[in-house]
Amino acid sequence: MATNLISSCNQLISKHKIEVIDLKSVDLTGRLHHISLPVTDNLLSTLLREGVGFDGSSYGFRKVENSDMILIPDLTTAVIDPFRDAPTLSFYCNIHLADGHKTPFKQDGRLIAKQTEKILFETTGCDQSFWGPEFEFYIFSKVKYDTRTASSFYEIEHGEEFHRNAYHAANPFDVYDDFRDEACKILKQFGIKVKYHHHEVGERGQQEIETYFTDLLLTADHIITAKYALFNFARKKDLYVTFMPKPMYHQAGNGMHLHLFLSKKGKNAFYKKGEYGNINELGRFFIGGILKHGSALSAFTNPSTNSYKRLVPGFEAPVGLTYGQGNRASAIRIPKYVSNPDETRFEYRPPDATANPYFCLSAILLAGIDGVVNKIDPVKEGFGPYDKNVDEYLKDNIKFLPRNLDESLDALKSDNDFLRRGNIFTDELLNQWVKIKQEDIRSIGTMPHPFEFKLYFNL
């Protein structure tokens, strides 16, 4: 198989006169990195055999005194990068230890994704999980920000300003519809199929692009790729894109809602006609596991301090650890408009794009698996179904998502056995994740905020 892949990629190199091989990978937090190699004879064979060394400490993976690691390209991810001037063939990489055996690195998100899909089959008999992300983001015409010892500020200029409902706004008021059209063409070049795009609720330039279902690993790759494509395309247009969960005060936040179903023997494993939302017992147990572990999951689905400025009541924020049909205040929404049995699914609404998608999706899947294995019934657990608004939730004393990143890390520390199934999330990874996120909390907690000057400077 490797020989066939090398031959296929070499044909691309020859046909498109490729000059550069680009190796892409993400660090612990999910930030994209790359290294470029000029094309030489037998380069791909050499890369598969030897890989490329890199400093794992700069990726947050290893300590400085033991930081040598190896990148080996996954040739199935080959794609021509439209944002490079020189003809460039790009690959995502798997990460290995420089131990003489090129042992796969246990904290590599792509490895974790593959191992989690394997656990799915072993524990539930389901073949695969399928995911359909919704990308919410803002487009700004100008952005400036900085933090120094004696100054801290951000300043945003936006090309849109609605004074009414901006959801599905039409042109000419939807200023960026042509931007989205072109962006979707670029995503297609990367192999990402777009379902639709539209203006979102945010009145100062919020957009949404939703993509079709793919398996866990490919979806996580596509999340990284989509962000890469939109950042680069915006730069070419002299615009700025952000996926920050809450970039502006009193404006709708950016989520990364994840539509999800399982397949078994090629058919939808969740469907049963006549049940609530047409979701069968397997699907309900899966939902029960996600909601049961929802607080701990938030450490991976919403891993930034900014995430929790979005997860507050209002703005259709999914704050309740409940499920319901068509209910956007619940963490899990079963779409009412789905009539095709093959697409029976639910939507997990809390995640945002500050997540490392490999960790995020794998953690959600492991929580669902735990629900199936332990038969966690969301009805008996008090998770719903709810078709109420947030104000009514408060009367019912239901459980809510953590209010901040600190609470989510506490939840992760007290509830992580479900992540350890099959030793997928190791002690080393969980400890390292908590450590780097606590550093974020400490940094922001000790930094004077501009709003504090307004509150306290003359007090």
- Taking the C-alpha atoms of residue 323 and residue 385, their distance in angstroms, rounded to an integer, is 5
* Distance from the first to the final alpha carbon of the chain: 71
CB within 8 Å of 26: residues ≥ 6 apart: 32, 33, 109, 224, 356, 358
- Centre a 10 Å sphere on the Cβ of residue 11 and count the other Cβ atoms it contains: 10
**Residues classed as catalytic:** 55, 134, 136, 200, 208, 257, 328, 347, 349
Alpha carbon 215 to chain centroid, angstroms = 14
Count Cβ atoms within 10 A of the Cβ of residue 104 and give its class: 0-12 exposed, 13-18 middle, 19 or more buried: middle
